Amino acid sequence: MERGKVKKEKRKETEKKKIREKGKEEKRKELEQKIKEKEKEKQEKQERSKRKEDKKEKRTEQGKETKKEKEQFKGQEEEEENKDSIVTVTNTPLEPLEKNKQILVLGLDGAGKTSVLHSLASNRVQHSVAPTQGFNAVCINTEDGQMEFLEIGGSEPFRSY
Ligand SMILES: Nc1nc2c(ncn2[C@@H]2O[C@H](COP(=O)(O)OP(=O)(O)OP(=O)(O)O)[C@@H](O)[C@H]2O)c(=O)[nH]1
Ligand SMILES: [Mg+2]
């Protein structure tokens, strides 16, 4: 009888051990799953941060390009202003060239604006030209298209224009 009791107790102990081991394995599996989920979250965060950095870099590059364009435009304007007596400025310097061009002619009085335009239009040199009062418009037809010159008198009353 005692032997039978001992055997039963041994069986119970082995069963208990088995149950404990199963519980431990389940806990291990749960921990492993949690660790994997955390790693995935970290990777996703890193990818998001990378995308944000890429977007920022693109924006800064675009800003640099626009700044360069502005600087080029300013440089062109300054070069045109530094010309001696007659200054010609096109209305749309950065747009594609059109057939009809409008050219503004500026300069001090007596510089020879009207004389140059007259010689261009008529192929003749006119010596005594009266000072331009207000503005003087000259249209010249060329092979490529029309060129419209607008001269503003260089006398002091017209310099404000
Ligand atoms: N010697 C010489 N005289 C010139 C020349 N070009 C113009 N002139 C003379 O300079 C004077 C003034 O010329 P304009 O063409 O009227 O000058 P402008 O720039 O139109 O002057 P405003 O209309 O007052 O702004 C005229 O008597 C011209 O004959 C040039 O190349 N050489
Ligand atoms: Mg003139």
Residues 74 and 99 in one domain: no
The whole-chain average pLDDT of the chain stands at 76
Helix (H) or strand (E) holding 49: helix 2-81
Q: 150: pLDDT confidence band, cut at 50, 70 and 90?
A: very high
Residues 65 and 111 in one domain: no
Residue where a domain terminates, one of 59, 82, 105: 82
The domain tally of the chain equals 2
What's the CA angle centered on 22, arms 20 and 25, to 5 degrees?
110
| Ligand 1 pocket: which of 84, 104, 115, 128 to mutate (most atoms within 8 A of CB) | 115
Residue where a domain terminates, one of 34, 53, 82: 82
| Residue-wise burial string across 121-133, b where 16 or more C-beta atoms lie within 10 A, e elsewhere | eeeeeeeeeeebe
Q: Do residues 111 and 85 lie in contact, with contact meaning Cβ atoms separated by under 8 Å?
A: yes
Residues 45 and 121 in one domain: no
Residue 61 confidence (pLDDT)? 61
Residue 149 confidence (pLDDT)? 95
Q: Could you list which residues have their CB under 5 Å from ion ligand 2?
A: 113-114, 132
Pairing of strands 101-106, 146-152: parallel
Residue 96 confidence (pLDDT)? 53
d(C-alpha 31, C-alpha 113), whole Å: 90
Which residues make beta-bridge pairs with 161? none
Predicted confidence (pLDDT) at residue 7 exceeds the cutoff of 70: yes
CATH of the domain at 111: 3.40.50.300
Q: Which atom of ligand 1 is nearest to the CA of 86?
A: 19
With a 6 Å cutoff on the Cβ, whether 149 touches ligand 1 is no
d(C-alpha 81, C-alpha 106), whole Å: 10
Looking at per-residue pLDDT, the higher value among 39 and 24 belongs to 39
Residue 151 confidence (pLDDT)? 93
Q: Which domain holds residue 89?
A: 84-158
Residue 126 confidence (pLDDT)? 85
Residues 72 and 5 in one domain: yes
Closest ligand to C-alpha of residue 153 is: 1
Residue where a domain terminates, one of 82, 112, 137: 82
- Only one residue has tokens 């924006």, namely 59
- Per-residue pLDDT tens digits for 59-102: 656 655 555 555 554 445 444 444 444 445 455 555 555 678 89
| Overall average pLDDT of the 123-137 stretch | 88
Q: What is the strand order of the sheet 135-141 is part of?
A: 87-90, 101-106, 146-152, 135-141
Residues 45 and 90 in one domain: no
Predicted confidence (pLDDT) at residue 137 exceeds the cutoff of 90: yes
